[in-house]
Every structure is written in structure tokens, then in C-alpha cells.
Amino acid sequence: MSAIDTLPPLRDVIAQHGLSARKALGQNFLLDLNLTSKIARAAGDLTGSDVLEIGPGPGGLTRGLLAEGARHVLAIEKDARCLPALDEIAQAYPGRLTVLNADALQVDPLAHLTPPIKVVANLPYNVGTELLIRWLTPADWPPVWDSLTLMFQREVAERIVAQPGSKAYGRLALLAQWRCEARIVMHLPPSAFTPPPKVSSAVVHITALPEPRYPADPVLLERLVAKAFNQRRKMLRAALKGLAPDLEDRLLAAGIQPTDRAETVGLEQFCALARSLKS
């Protein structure tokens, strides 16, 4: 019998510890351990890796990660009510689970882990995008993590993997795809969660590339993309007005028509424009 089987079913854990879901904390729990193990497997081979999990809640995904062989899991949970349930898991897997009762936005947990590091989380929806942007924009590249396997609202997942010309394409797609490979590996209906959220969800698997796909200064590229998509329906010669006196020439040199809109411009062209604006 594996260690996962010695722990009580998650419904019992929730009842025993009075873990009624709180909306303000984005609490939609996964209670099916087959599903949480499947999500853990979507992160690849966990043996020999440290795993960062944000928002373990009652610990369904945590149990999946440990059962799938993670060397060590560091789980950051804001809701102190979940700690006794997580402690039971820590006891079933001695020395392999550390739980930190903290707000994930206020700590830098990656610094406590030993590479190779994988981040795997069913993220609280209210902080998911902000955490993703932090992980995608570290001070140095490559980042300390090898991969991010993250549950998002389906609409956010689609924005991460979107291609030019689609409605979902924008800052998040460019940020994720510039230095990473990003794909949706699983779709989940609201009924997979307790309580069910209003929208569908999807798991995105993101792996860090050793180098950016195209050279560009990260700060400049980020600023340029933010400005371009701030007024996504405007032509770029208007949306980017004020960035350079000879903006139209620089757009053309980067292979962009001044009348193009941000949503049709690819990553390679944005990087070329960022390089041109730096010179």
C-alpha cells in the first residue's frame, strides 16, 4: 500500500477540520486523488526534484505530488485552517513536505528550494496571474525553476498560449512565449472542483528555454508590449506614440507596418522593435 492510501479521503479531511470553502481565498478544491495524481504527472518526472506548491488547501494535489515521487514539496498556504490536514500528510511522508503558513505574494519561496525545481499548483484565481508574471520575469535568465504546471481559469490559460491574430493574444502570451514553451495539457470542467467555480479551468505546462527565442532587453520589451496592448485596437503608430521621434522608420525596420495593430504583431517583430528602440 502506498503512503497516499494510509491517509483519509479528502471529503473526510475537509469535514474533520471544518474546511468550508472561502470564496475570498479562491477555494475550489480538487477531491479526486486520481485527478490530482494526473496533474502531478503532467509536471513530468518529479523524482529528484523539489516542488513548490502554492495554495495546497486540504492537500489533494500535495498528496499527488508526494505519491508521484517529488523529492521535497514546499507548500505555501495562507489559510491557517488547512495546517492540521497538511500536517497529517507531512507525517505520512516524513521529511518530504514543508508547509509555510504565508501569503505567497509576500514571500520568495523559490529561494528556499534546491534545483531542479518544479512549480505545480492549483492556483488561487485571485493571485494566479500575478504569481505567473513574477515567475516569468526573474532578475536573471534562465530562472531557478525548470517548469511551471499551473491550473488557471480556462480564459487565462488561453491567453498564455495564444498566437497573433487571436482575441486572447496579448502581453501574457508574449511574456510567456518569449523565453518559454507553453502549452495547455488538460481541461477541467467546473464539476471537477468542490465547490464548482463558475468557469472551466485548464492546466498549462510551461518549460523555461535556456535562452530567449529572440534577443531583447527584458524591461524594454515588457514596457513596449504593455504600451502596445494598452490600446490594442489602435494602430501602432498611435499606440506607441512618443517612444521615439522616428517611430515609423523603426517600426518598418522591425518588419511592422505603422498601421498594424498590436494583436497582429508576432514575438520576433516585437523583439526587433525593442532592440531598435534601445539603439
- Return residues touching ligand SAM (CB under 6 A): 25-30, 54-57, 60-61, 76-79, 82, 103-105, 122, 124, 127
C-beta of 119: minimal distance to ligand SAM in Å? 13
C-beta of 253: minimal distance to ligand SAM in Å? 44
CA distance 209 to 122: 23
To the question of whether residue 266 is assigned a binding role by annotation, the answer is no
> Is the dihedral angle over the CA atoms 8, 11, 16, 17 positive or is it negative?
positive
Residue type for position 165: G
C-beta of 35: minimal distance to ligand SAM in Å? 9
* Cβ distance to ligand SAM smaller for residue 153 or 177: 153
* Cβ distance to ligand SAM smaller for residue 29 or 229: 29
The closest residue (CB) to ligand SAM is 55
CB–CB of 132/148 below 8 Å? yes
Q: Pick from 61, 6, 53, 4: which is nearest to 35 by CA?
A: 61
To the question of whether residue 126 is assigned a binding role by annotation, the answer is no
C-beta of 262: minimal distance to ligand SAM in Å? 31
To the question of whether residue 31 is assigned a binding role by annotation, the answer is no
Q: DSSP E strands: which ranges in 81-214?
A: 97-101, 117-122, 145-153, 180-188, 193-194, 201-208
* Cβ distance to ligand SAM smaller for residue 13 or 254: 13
Please state the φ and ψ torsions of residue 268, each to the nearest 5 degrees: -60, -40
* Cβ distance to ligand SAM smaller for residue 122 or 177: 122
| CA 62-202-143 angle, 5° bins | 65
Radius of gyration of the CA atoms of the chain, in A: 21
Please state the φ and ψ torsions of residue 49, each to the nearest 5 degrees: -115, 145
* Cβ distance to ligand SAM smaller for residue 72 or 78: 78
To the question of whether residue 122 is assigned a binding role by annotation, the answer is yes
CA distance 183 to 186: 9
C-beta of 257: minimal distance to ligand SAM in Å? 43
* Cβ distance to ligand SAM smaller for residue 178 or 193: 193
To the question of whether residue 34 is assigned a binding role by annotation, the answer is no
Query: Cell 492549483 sits at which residue?
Result: 122
To the question of whether residue 222 is assigned a binding role by annotation, the answer is no
**Number of C-beta neighbours around residue 202 at 10 A:** 20
C-beta of 120: minimal distance to ligand SAM in Å? 9
Could you list the residues known to form a binding site for S-adenosyl-L-methionine, using ranges: 28, 30, 55, 77, 103, 122
The binding site comprises 28, 30, 55, 77, 103, 122
